[in-house]
Amino acid sequence: MQRLHLQKLVFYAVLLLMTAVYIGPFIYQFFISISHSKDVFGSPGNLIQPPNWTLQNYANVWVDLPFKQWLVNSVFITVVQTITNVFFSALAGFVFARLDFPGRRFIFGLLLSSLTVPGIILLVPKFIFMNDLRLVNTYTGLIIPNLVTITNIFLMKQFFETIPKDLEEAALIDGCSYFRIFWQIFLPVSTPALAAVAIYTFQGSWNEFLWPVIISITSDHFTLPVGVGFLKNQFQSDWPLLMAGTLLITLPTLCIFLVFQRYFVQGIAASGGKE
Amino acid sequence: MAQPATRQREITTIAWLFLGFPLLLISIFVFFPIAFSFLISFFDWNLVTNQRRFVGVDNYTKLLGDALFWKSARNTVLYTIGVVPLQTFLALFLAFVMNQKIRGRGFFRLAFYVPAITSSVVTSTLFIALFSKQGLINQMTGLENDWLTNPRTAMLTIMANNIWTTSGYFMVSFLAGLQSIPDSLYEAARIDGASAWQQFWKITVPMVRPVTYFVLVLGLIGCFQVFDQIFIMSAGGPVNSTTTMSYYVYINGFKYFKLGYAAAAAMVLAVVIFSANQLQNKYFKPEVD
């Protein structure tokens, strides 16, 4: 009995230590972001004293940085890519899960093998296309390469394959078209998968750094990560401002996660468990 | 089920109708660039001088003669070797802990997962603060190291950042795997007198092997292409101690606009990743059941 108690104690100690390691930095970030003084590294003790707190840094984010413009850009890109990814991956996933047509295996094989190609080799050619089409430093250039991703198509395909065939066979005998089967039988039961695709895409687009950093040249086309990434050096003397700005960037993905937790886990289970 | 001719025609039409646009996009932004990238790597393709000249394998020979390229390759490999095993083990460990009957499981899962859903720019900026000369890490440990400007610790700091953000992400993958292990296996082991430690090594580890393989593959591909953290935390410095292959591609392609040369470097990186994957398949791939 004594031993069991000790085991439990050690277990919870480890758990708390891990928790501190994983969210401690964010708490540090929060205290810096509300610090009155710019000298945040003097002593951590000063950070946690209420008289030294202020919300002014959060107000300054909107004044001292082009934060509003970056926010609008980030929201616009993320919303467009999320909608198109849900739509296109559902369409393509349905085809690969249910419709047998000449060339399906070939196309699917191509998709499968290009998943193993590292994204880094796509950068230069994509940039050259964009440059030739005069799309560098435009919203179109920022958005179109990620209107649909192969991973999302796979996720939808795998989900659709779990739907029993009885329903659609009955519908086919009744003379139902495949278009209606997709629209009226498949989509209504696919909320978890569609939500997973939406959440992943949202998170991916919101946090994406490499492509926007290459394709956007001027500040008015920066997304939030790119803006902060470029102006970080300029504002490194103002840590409270920088920490307030970066905390604001984190909020949307955190909220989405809190609201849609169970879809997150289901989605990873579907994509990761079957490999 | 045999399909009548009209039915097959309907299927083909709908298939192309649904698939057409997504496939067009993927062709333009994935299929075609793969082939094009290979082609560009044989050209002196410079956007500044606006030059496009076929140079054969010149880019590749120049690349192999560049000491910085070799250094970036070495940095990339060391980074991957340092990060992948630790992130995989930590992810499994976190998942194992999460799979116990504990109070407030939702809270802990969220805590471990937050770094994974946070933008790399944010976590990197946060690490600059934490690991700066007067930052929290030095104050807690009593050290006076300037982690990111010291060539001996800069890469370690970036590795720590990546392990911290990805272990929570892969924890969720393992968690799904752990939950599919039937309780009866553990019960049988307990009846036979197996300790918790033995259960972990003899049941948990072998049963999640497909997930481990998946995590290793994804972790490796991600590590070999590490970029955001380098860009934000060190910009390849100090004295190129954190220049990785993808950062090398970026500098040459998008700072000097030597696109042919950058494409060749990216090709080499792709070959490295491909070879590493082959090794993984040979030694870690679970047998197909």
Backbone CA torsion sign across B259, B261, B263, B265: negative
Residues B189-208 have pLDDT tens digits of 989 988 877 888 888 888 99
User: Do B19 and A100 make contact, defined as CB atoms within 8 angstroms?
Assistant: no
Distance between B152 CA and the closest CA of chain A, angstroms = 22
Question: Closest by alpha carbon to B216, among B271, B278, B284?
Answer: B284
Contacts of B240 (CB under 8 A, 6+ apart): B68, B71, B72, B75
Q: Which of A210-214, A266-270, B139-143, B154-158 has the lowest mean pLDDT?
A: A266-270
Q: Give the pLDDT confidence score for residue A274 in this predicted structure.
A: 33
How confident is the prediction for chain B on average, in pLDDT? 90
In this complex, the residue of B10, B26, B123 whose CB is nearest that of residue A178 is B10
Chain A residues touching residue B37 (CB < 8 angstroms): 121-122, 124-125
User: Mean pLDDT in chain A?
Assistant: 87
Interface test with A, best of B16, B29, B97, B269 (most A CBs within 10 A): B29
Q: Name the residue among A19, A129, A214 with its Cβ closest to that of B108.
A: A19
Please give the Cα distance from A192 to A185 (Å, whole number): 15
> Residue B8 pLDDT > 90, yes or no?
no
Chain B residues lying within 8 Å of A122, measured CB to CB = 29-30, 33-34, 37
Check B34 against A11: CB less than 8 A apart: no
pLDDT, tens digit (0-9, with 9 covering 90-100), for B133-177:
888 888 888 888 888 888 899 999 999 999 999 999 999 889 888
Model confidence pLDDT, tens digit, residues A27-58? 999 988 888 877 777 666 677 777 778 888 89
Q: Cβ-count burial of A188 within 10 angstroms (0-12 exposed, 13-18 middle, 19+ buried)?
A: exposed
What is the pLDDT averaged over residues B53-80? 94
Interval A82-106 mean pLDDT: 94
Q: What is the mean pLDDT of residues A232-237?
A: 73
Reduce the DSSP state of residue B48 to 3 states and report it.
Answer: coil
> Is B25 in Cβ contact with A147 (below 8 Å)?
yes
Place of tokens 């950070």: A47
- Looking up tokens 């919300």 gives A55
Q: What value does the mean pLDDT take over residues A215-237? A: 86
The pLDDT score that the predictor gives to residue A275 is 29
Kindly list the residues from chain B whose CB atom is less than 8 angstroms away from the CB atom of residue A261.
Answer: 106, 110
Confidence of residue A169 (pLDDT cuts 50, 70, 90): confident
Q: Report how far apart the first and last C-alpha atoms of chain B are (Å, whole number).
A: 27
Answer whether residue A273 shows pLDDT above 50: no
The ipTM estimated for the assembled molecules is: 0.89
Alpha helices, H only, chain B: 5-26, 32-40, 58-65, 67-98, 105-117, 120-130, 136-141, 154-179, 183-191, 196-199, 205-207, 209-224, 228-233, 245-254, 259-284
Cβ separation of B129 and A145 shorter than 8 Å?
Answer: no
Confidence grade of residue A148 (pLDDT, cut at 50, 70, 90): very high
Q: What is the mean pLDDT of residues A225-242?
A: 83
pLDDT of residue A1: 54
Q: Would the CB atoms of A121 and B26 count as touching at under 8 Å? A: no
For chain A, report the end-to-end CA distance as a whole number of angstroms: 42
The type of residue at A12 is: Y
In this prediction, residue A238 has a pLDDT band, given cuts at 50, 70 and 90, of confident
Collect all residues of chain B within an 8 Å Cβ-Cβ radius of residue A147. Answer: 25
Q: What is the largest CA-CA distance in chain A?
A: 76
Shortest distance between the Cα of A94 and any Cα of chain B, in A, equals 8
| Alpha carbons A93 and B159: distance in angstroms, whole number | 36
Higher-pLDDT residue of B7 and B226 is B226
For residue A250, the chain B residues in CB contact (below 8 A) are 118-119, 122
Contact B29 A126 (CB under 8 A): yes
